[in-house]
């Protein structure tokens, strides 16, 4: 099972409050992006080939039991293979470590939706195939 956050692009107004909420909760670093020019919310979609996981030499990038690729910062070498491998450019190297959207798995384990999903007051983001979905 994998999960992702789905955006209703037809009804999204492009306010990017989802990204602002993410940034606020993650120490000023947004784990997702919003491209206003194409009205698209970009985050990890746990793609089929999972090249970010496959190419990680230490296993720092691995599949969480909830079905989303996550990074163990203690194991990350900062090589950037996951960054180069991701077609959506989701992982980032910050302070020599890979970081990426983990769909707020810690919140999901508490029965709460990811920050970006709850921040969207218009309900244009939805968690698919997760604990709440």
Number of domains comprising the chain: 1
Give 133's pLDDT tier (boundaries 50, 70, 90). Answer: very low
- Name the 3-class secondary structure at 84: helix
Q: Is the pLDDT of residue 39 over 80?
A: no
Is 76 among the domain residues? yes
CATH code of the domain containing 74: 3.30.70.20
Tens digits of per-residue pLDDT, 43-77?
787 788 899 999 999 999 999 998 889 999 999 99
Is 45 among the domain residues? yes
Report the percent of the chain where pLDDT is more than 90: 53
Give 42's pLDDT tier (boundaries 50, 70, 90). Answer: confident
Is 61 among the domain residues? yes
Is 68 among the domain residues? yes
Higher pLDDT, 107 or 133: 107
Q: For the whole model, what pTM was predicted? A: 0.83
Q: Which long-range contacts (CB under 8 A, 24 or more apart) does 118-121 make?
A: 118/21, 119/17, 119/18, 119/20, 119/21, 119/22, 120/17, 120/18, 121/17
Give 132's pLDDT tier (boundaries 50, 70, 90). Answer: very low
Is 133 among the domain residues? no
Boundaries of domain holding 63: 4-128
CA distance 2 to 129: 7
């Amino acid at each position: 099972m994998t999960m992702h956050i789905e955006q209703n692009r037809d009804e999204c107004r492009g306010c990017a409050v989802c990204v602002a909420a993410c940034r606020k909760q993650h120490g000023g670093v947004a784990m997702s992006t919003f491209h206003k020019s194409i009205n698209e919310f970009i985050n990890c979609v746990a793609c089929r080939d999972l090249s970010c996981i496959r190419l990680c030499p230490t296993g720092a990038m691995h599949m969480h039991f909830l079905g989303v690729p996550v990074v163990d910062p203690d194991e990350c070498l900062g090589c950037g293979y996951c960054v180069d491998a991701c077609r959506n450019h989701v992982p980032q190297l910050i302070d020599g470590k890979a970081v990426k959207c983990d769909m707020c798995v810690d919140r999901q384990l508490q029965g709460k939706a990811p920050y970006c999903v709850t921040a969207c007051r218009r309900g244009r983001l939805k968690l698919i195939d997760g604990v709440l979905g």
